[in-house]
Structure 1
C-alpha cells in the first residue's frame, strides 16, 4: 500500500518510542502541592478568581477566561490556596499562578458519563467545551472553543484527527488511541454534531503505529471515518503538513486550515472534548510521556495539571545522571526546563530527561550556503535568510521572508551541517517584530 505524505521538506529523526508498549498509569502518591498558571494557553491569561486561604475542590473554576481567545482554568485537586505567585516561563509563561496545598484526606470527585449527552444541542456542547477550558493539547494550546466555533460558522467540511505524533519519544497520543478508542469516536460524533457541515472525517496516523491504525480503522468503518496511514516523516503532525498529506491541499501563507474548509483536532484534545461534553469534566489532567536516558522508569502517566516536575521524576524512580537536560515536549520543538520546580500544564505532552554528558558536543561554523535548510523546510521558507536578517536586527525585511508563517518545527536546525541554531534566531526575529 502506498503511504500518504506531505510533498516538500521534512526530516527523519530516529523515533525513539520506547514507551509505546507501556500502558498508561496514575500517580502512586500525589504531590503535597501544585502550581496552576493562569496562562496555559495562547491568548489572554485567565483572570484569577481565588485568594490565599480559600478552599477549592477538584474541578472548580479558579481562573476565568479573559476574552474570547483565552481559556478557563480549573483546580486539578482539592485543597487550600497557599499563595498567589508568578509561574516561571516557559510552562507558566510568566503569568499569575495559584499554589494549592493538597488535602490528602479528601476524596477526588468522580465523573460519570451522562447517558443523554448526544441529545444536547450543538450550542450546549460548544458551551461545555468552552467552560472546560480545553486547548490544543498537541503543544499549540490554542483555545479549542475558538477553533470549533470558527469551523461551525465557517462551514468546515473536512475534520482531520491528528494521530501522527511525529516527535521522537512521545507516545501519549498513541496510548490514548489504544486504550480509549471508543471514547475518541464519541468525541468525533460530538464534533460532527457541533459542526454539521462536516462531510468527511479522517484520522491520520504514521505507519510506526500499526496497532493504532488497525484498531482505529476497525471501529472507523462503523462511524464513516477514514484512517489514512502515513509515511514516517517529521513534521507530519503539524496542521498544514498533515492536511497536505491526507487530502492533498496546501494551506496558503497567512491563511488558516478553516480557510480551505478543514479543521484539525489532536487526539488528546479530542479525548478532552469527549470528557467535557459527556462527563462534564474540565481539563484538569492529561496523559504525559516520561522518557529519556536520565530517568529510571519510563512511563505514560496521567498527571494532574500543576504537578511539579520534581515530583514526576520521583514518581518515575528518580533522575539517574548528575548533568541533566529536561525538555517539556519533544526534542525537536520542546522547551528546556531550567528548574524541576516548574509544573505540568495543559500543553505538556512529554517530559524528557536527557543526560547532558552523553549529548553530542556541537560547534557552530559559518554558513556554507548548501541550501539544506530550505530543502528541509515543509513550508518552503528560507530559514537562513530569516536567521541572518534577525541576527542583523533588520526588522523591516523580516516580514518579506514570511517569518510569522514559520511554526518552528526545527527541521532547518536539525539538518544544518554548520550547526547554526536557525530556529533560535528565527524566534529572536519574531521577538524583534513583537517589540
Structure 2
C-alpha cells in the first residue's frame, strides 16, 4: 500500500529559498561549446563531424553508439574546432567535440511530426531516440530504452518525478511553475506509449503551489493524477519514489519496469514533449546556480555544452570566496576544482558553498548509535558495511547486501562520529561493479 513516503531518510537544510522564487533566465553561450560523447549510460556516441566542419544549431554531430546510447546535437552554429579529451565534472577525461561559436545561432529546420495521438508507440519511441533524450535527473539512462520494456502492456504507472529532494536545487520546481503544460503534455505522451498505464505526478509536499497548479490542470484527466509525497531526502531516488507512490519494491538487480513502473524527471518529460510534438532534439536544460557564495543565485535555461564559468559570470560571480564548489547538489554532487567544465545533459546545478555552509571535521571512532541504520532508505547497516570495506572483507560486504546501497549519503550526513561511510561503501561498490564487467 502506498504511504507517500519510505523507511529511513533525513531532513537536511534545504537551501532552496536562495533561488526558488526567481524566474528562469534564458542565456545564450558566448564561448566555445564542449560536447562530451559520454553524457549518458551506455555506449559513447560516435562523432560524425570532422575538424573544420561548419555546423548549425540542431545538427546531429554524434550518432548513438549502440542500442543503449544517445546521439548528440550542436546547440550553436559554428565550426568544429577540435575533437579531443576534456574533463567532466566527475574528474574523468572524455573525448569531446569542441565547436567554436560563431554567435549567429543559425538553426536547421525542425519539422513537426504528426499529432502524437495519431502516432504508434514505436513512432513516439523512435522520435525520442532520434532526439537524444536521456534521463536528466540522474545518470542519463537513454529514455527510448526506458520506454522499450519487454512487456509494455505490464506497465501500470508512468511516474513524473517532481520531488526534487536534493538540497539547494530548484530547477524542476521553477519549470513546474513556469511551464506546467509542457511537463503535463510530456507525461501524457509517455503514458500513451503503454496501453494500460496511468500517469502520476509525484510532488513533495513542500511545493503546495505546484501541487495546486497540477491538480487544477489534471482535474478532467482520466489517466493522470497528482500524488503529494512527504518532504524527505532521498524521496526522489527511483526506488524510494516507486515505493512511496505505489507501495511496490525493487532491488538493485531490477528495473522499475519489473515493478510495472516507468519513472522520468521533469526536464526529461519536457524534452520528450519537444521531441515528439516538434521534432526538436535535446539541446537545452534548466541548471540551478546557487549557494551563499553566489551573488545572484537563480535558474538558467542553458544550451548543453555551455561552460559553467559563463553561467557563474551571469549570476554575478562570487560575492564571497567559496569553500567548496559542487557540480550538482551537496548530497550527491561532485566537488570540482575547475570551472572550465561544460554543462551536459545530466548537469543539474552548480552549488557554491561558503565556509559557513561547509562542515569541517575529523572522523572519529564509531559510537554504535545506529543513527546510520535508522537513516538508510535501503534498510542496510552502513556501519557494518564500512567496517567490512576497511578490513578488505569483500565477502562480508556482499553478504550484507552492500550492492543495494544507492549512495544517497544519508549515513555520512547523520553520523555523529563523522565517519565517511558513503565514500567507503561507494568505493567498494565501484570495485565490485568493475569486476562484473570483466
What's the TM-score once normalised by structure 2's chain length? 0.93
Tell me, yes or no, if the aligned pair for 2:37 and 2:94 is still in contact at 8 Å.
yes
Q: Deviations over 1:310-348 (max 9, x none)?
A: 111111111223344211111111111221101111111
Match of 1:22 in 2: 22
Q: Deviations over 1:191-227 (max 9, x none)?
A: 12211121x3211111111110001111112222211
Say whether residues 1:206 and 2:200 are aligned partners.
Answer: no
- Residue ranges of structure 1 left out of the alignment (5+ in a row): none
Partner-residue secondary structure (3-state), 1:303: strand
Q: Deviations over 1:84-141 (max 9, x none)?
A: 1212133584221011110113434575765624322211110011111111111221
Shift in CA distance, 64/152, structure 1 to aligned 2, threshold 3 Å: farther
Match of 2:333 in 1: 334
Match of 2:139 in 1: 140
Tell me, yes or no, if the aligned pair for 1:159 and 1:201 is still in contact at 8 Å.
yes
Shift in CA distance, 91/364, structure 1 to aligned 2, threshold 3 Å: closer
Tell me, yes or no, if the aligned pair for 2:56 and 2:105 is still in contact at 8 Å.
no
Q: Which moved more, 1:149-158 or 1:179-188?
A: 149-158
Q: Deviations over 1:210-267 (max 9, x none)?
A: 1100011111122222111122111111111111112222224532221121111111
Match of 2:167 in 1: 168
For 2:65 and 2:351, the matched residues in 1 are separated by 32
Alpha-carbon RMSD: 1.9
1:4-19 maps to which residues of 2 (within 5 A)? 4-18=3-17, 19=19
Partner-residue secondary structure (3-state), 1:269: helix
Match of 2:213 in 1: 215
Shift in CA distance, 113/173, structure 1 to aligned 2, threshold 3 Å: farther
Tell me, yes or no, if the aligned pair for 1:91 and 1:344 is still in contact at 8 Å.
no
For 1:185 and 1:107, the matched residues in 2 are separated by 30
Match of 1:83 in 2: 82
Match of 1:424 in 2: 423
Tell me, yes or no, if the aligned pair for 1:288 and 1:300 is still in contact at 8 Å.
yes
Q: Deviations over 1:150-187 (max 9, x none)?
A: 17636211121111001111111111111111122211
Q: Which moved more, 1:408-417 or 1:391-400?
A: 391-400
Match of 1:69 in 2: 68
For 2:366 and 2:192, the matched residues in 1 are separated by 52
Partner-residue secondary structure (3-state), 1:278: helix
Q: Deviations over 1:257-307 (max 9, x none)?
A: 211211111111111100111111111110111110111111111111111
Tell me, yes or no, if the aligned pair for 1:40 and 1:91 is still in contact at 8 Å.
no
Match of 1:237 in 2: 236
1:203-352 maps to which residues of 2 (within 5 A)? 203-224=201-222, 225-252=224-251, 254-352=253-351
Match of 1:96 in 2: 95
Match of 1:395 in 2: 394
What's the TM-score once normalised by structure 1's chain length? 0.94
Tell me, yes or no, if the aligned pair for 1:160 and 1:262 is still in contact at 8 Å.
yes
Tell me, yes or no, if the aligned pair for 1:386 and 1:429 is still in contact at 8 Å.
no
Partner-residue secondary structure (3-state), 1:139: coil
For 2:56 and 2:99, the matched residues in 1 are separated by 11
Tell me, yes or no, if the aligned pair for 1:138 and 1:349 is still in contact at 8 Å.
yes
Tell me, yes or no, if the aligned pair for 2:378 and 2:406 is still in contact at 8 Å.
no
Match of 2:130 in 1: 131
- Residue ranges of structure 2 left out of the alignment (5+ in a row): none
Q: Deviations over 1:377-400 (max 9, x none)?
A: 111112122222223332333322
Partner-residue secondary structure (3-state), 2:287: strand
Tell me, yes or no, if the aligned pair for 1:61 and 1:72 is still in contact at 8 Å.
yes
Equivalenced residue count is 431
For 2:356 and 2:9, the matched residues in 1 are separated by 28
Q: Which moved more, 1:338-347 or 1:355-364?
A: 355-364
Match of 2:158 in 1: 159
Shift in CA distance, 121/358, structure 1 to aligned 2, threshold 3 Å: closer
For 2:352 and 2:120, the matched residues in 1 are separated by 45
Q: Give the deviation of 1:357 after TM superposition.
A: 6.2
